[in-house]
Amino acid sequence: MTDSPLFQPLQVRSLELPNRIVMSPMTRSYSIDGVPGDDVVAYYRRRAEGGTGLIVTEGVAIDHPSAVDNTRVPHMYGEAALNGWRAVVDAVHQAGGKIIPQLWHVGPLWGAMSKVDPSIKPMRPSGEWGPLGTTSYSDSYVRWAQNPCEPMTGQDIADVIDAYGRAAAAAAELGFDGIAIHGGHGYLLDSFLWAGTNLRDDEWGGDLERRTRFPVEVVKAIRAAAGPDLPIFYRFSQHKQQNYTARIAETSDELSIILGALSEAGVDVFDASIRRFDVPAFEGSDLSLAGWAKKVTGKPSMAVGSVGIGKSLRDSRIEKSAPIVDNIPDVEQRIGDGEFDLIAIGRLHLADPALATTLRSGAPLPEFDRRRHEGVLH
């Protein structure tokens, strides 16, 4: 497969990638008190040794009180955590790999991973958790979360923007090869884009352009802090964890408004997060969400969702099984045709740390093992 589009190089700003295979960000909860330890170093080093072109870390908490509610999710602040990340970066680079951290604030979904301090205010644009639809959250959490809180104030917004900038500056200082931003799935940045959670009628909400302003300002702060050379990846989604059928854009024109503003602010690569990478994004076209992201911005895009797996993560958890489906040829064709530029792969990277080598050799994909494919064994 050395002539495969999967194994062609790509450069984005200062980031030089040997292939188009990306390890997708996956929350793991192995960093005690937010500090990546030796096991986390070894986990990422193995994927770099396996030939993966780019590693995007699990979500990393920015320095804000309600950024992440799980004490085992790593931080991008504090001496101990930063030293842990320095060891990760050094190990990946020594193995010949590239790595970028995914900066994260959970926003309205505060409290979904663990019990929280009731004195800490969740960050919600309008104080609302969001209209409930198809979700995998428990009834008890949903009942708690649907209680409204005080909307974000102007000071809240400024504080969060500053926290993103500090995290980006720290990541650049540690030697990361770029910055990734989690802007999907109903988390904070996405909650400003979604009309279901952003009910504001000020400079931060109202029409679609104003709903886009907060994520834009975050991107600008990250670009200013990280400098001109490091690329910025931005994960966005239509679906929310509050409602898997929700959408931020009903048409490609609406998507163009959102992504165009983010592109102008400094995003270099759009990470289009959907449950199946090949699903058409809008009626009347076969183009995927990643394909539309590239089409409306002219920037490189990355697809993700059920690569090598016949069911989404949510469905495979419910049904406790998933068929292995070799859809790699479809990925190759779409990259070769220019529909998107990178493919992010999650669960196969958990099951096979040397996934890129496996794909290059044409060896079969690993048989489904729920403990391996969901990272219990890592």
C-beta separation of 34 from 368 below 8 A: no
C-beta separation of 187 from 98 below 8 A: no
C-beta separation of 124 from 151 below 8 A: yes
Rounded to 10 degrees, the C-alpha dihedral 72/75/79/83 comes to 80
> Whose CA is closest to 208, among 173, 247, 159, 163?
247
Pure H helices in 50-131: 79-94
C-beta separation of 268 from 12 below 8 A: yes
Pairing state of beta strands 54-61 and 21-23? Answer: parallel
Rounded to 10 degrees, the C-alpha dihedral 79/84/86/88 comes to -170
Q: What does residue 241 show for φ and ψ, rounded to 5 degrees? A: -75, -20
Q: Is 137 a catalytic residue?
A: no
Task: Please name the residues in contact with 235: beta carbons below 8 A apart, sequence gap of 6 or more.
Answer: 25, 102, 180, 181, 182, 183, 184, 271, 273
Given 43, 44, 164, 187, the catalytic residue:
187
Q: Where are the beta strands (DSSP E) in the chain?
A: 10-12, 15-17, 21-23, 54-61, 99-104, 179-182, 232-237, 269-273, 301-304, 342-345
By annotation, the residues acting in catalysis are: 187
